[in-house]
Amino acid sequence: MRAAALPSAAGSLLLTVLAAAPAGGAPDVPGTGATAAELRGTLVATARAAAEGIAFGPCADAQDMPGSMQCGTVEVPLDYAHPDGRKIKLTVSRVQATQRDPLNSKRRVPRQGALVFNPGGPGGDGLYFPLTGLLPQWKRLGAAYDLIGYSPRGVGRSAPLSCQDPRQLFKGPSQAPTHPTESYKRERIAQAKAYARGCARRAGSALRHYTSLNNARDLDVLRAALGEHRLTFMGASYGTYFGALYATLFPSHVRRMVFDSAVNPDPEQIWYRNNLRQSAAFEGRWADFREWIARHDKVYGLGDTPEKVLRSYERARARLARKPAGGKVGPGQLQGAFLQAGYYDDYWPHRAHALSAYLKGDPRPLVEQAAPVTEAAAETENADAVYTAIECNDAPWPTDFRVWDRDNTRLARVAPFETWDNAWTNLPCAYWPAPRQQPLDVRTGPGELPPVLILAAERDAATPYDGALELHRRLSGSVLVTERDAGTHGLAGGPNRCVSGHLEAYLLEGRLPARRAACAGHAEPEPRAGGR
């Protein structure tokens, strides 16, 4: 978005790795965290991991796991500058390559090694990724590759990070003003300060070590533990950012890499400006959704123009502010549910139906879709904590709320849908107690990195398209495949056969199109009166 090592073998491996390390692969750049000490620590950790491997066995919740997924752990240093200090264990999952052609079960497919996946976040858990091999669209990849998932540091079972009691997470219906009052801002500032203090109190001195650079180093340790000389990796969303860090730090360790829905890696954009850009992009995607609803007014009755649909939405917001639906869904929960539709257009029929039913007197679909899932409180709190820690640690943030107030007030005039909600999510970074890093300058020169594949949707709001263009510019020899006139976040394994064809050709055969290629957008969802 987790047998005892032989000292002589570990020493031999360490010498091999040191000899093979590229001269420019991990520079000692002051302030970036890419120091010589951390390079040495990474080499020590990868040598140990290569010697020890991963003892895969039944997963802890094996009774709920279909197929043949196995789990194990890999040990990484909490602080790579001190590889003999505190260690943490990352939980890793695997489904081994079937080596059977899904179109001809008698034909044997050569195994190509391990394909490691990260779903993004920060805070996303990729532990269950190997189960995608059961899906038809993943069977060709599952035949050739061991499908590898893992919980990154801080996530799930991998030394989980927490910033508050999960029971505090869902206190009830909440407001989500698009133009907050001064008193509301003061309330959110107090909450942000308290949250930052909670992170420091619960994590202690470990807090500073939850960073994207350490995620990239952990990925190299995982590569070594899997017995892979070179990494085949697919990262989605945030996974593209630390994947790009990996490509910059360890270009000679890369076999193939897929960057699906790319984060803009420009150090000037990490992370404050990226979040402002994201808020602006969600306004465009919200407009796309309203246009779709308006075209299907006969089904939903929410208005035959985007402006009328917006008035219907605002009418629901006002009603929910007075009386939350089911006692659980207020304006904040409504906004959260419709934000999900900005990520994935297959949610559009469900959300449109829920809004329509609510305004016609039936709140049940809206409550079903928007009410907090209290059973997932611990998981959600953990993901939130990791997200906050990594983004706050990775880069400098404005520490004066007047800067946040100025920038978000201006933006909310033209992009009110997500702007302030996004600001409140990230505001703990203004009061963060741990040291900030300077982001690494992601880039590779000609011939340093094998050709890599970037996938991007033109109207993606979560990772706006200019981020894919920037990553493409910075990774020499990369190829960009664009899904035109579409905005779903995350394209791999999706409905676009053109995109899937490029993905499979690259991962299975190493074939790439020209420097840039385009696919027509996938079909929009069909309206459904019942939302299903």
Return the active site residues: 237, 460, 489
Q: Return the closest-CA partner of residue 144 out of 116, 118, 108, 94.
A: 108
* Vertex 36: Cα angle to 10 and 431 (nearest 5): 115
According to DSSP, residue 229 is labeled S
Q: How far apart are the first and last CA of the chain?
A: 28
Which phi-psi region, left, alpha or beta, contains residue 373 (left: φ > 0; alpha: ψ -120 to 50)? Answer: beta
SS3 per-residue string spanning 141-175: HHHHEEEEEECCCCCCCCCCCCCCCHHHCCCCCCC
Residue 247 CA to residue 125 CA, distance in Å, equals: 21
271 upstream amide cis, omega within 30 of 0: yes
Pairing between β-strand 87-95 and β-strand 100-101 as defined by DSSP bridges:
unpaired
Residue 357 CA to residue 366 CA, distance in Å, equals: 8
Are 239 and 490 in contact by the 8 Å Cβ rule? The answer is no
Residue 58 CA: distances (Å) to CA of 143, 224, 225, 307, 321 = 21, 22, 18, 54, 48
Q: Name every residue whose Cβ is closer than 8 Å to that of residue 380 and which is 6 or more positions away in sequence.
A: 166, 169, 373
Residue 88 CA to residue 74 CA, distance in Å, equals: 8
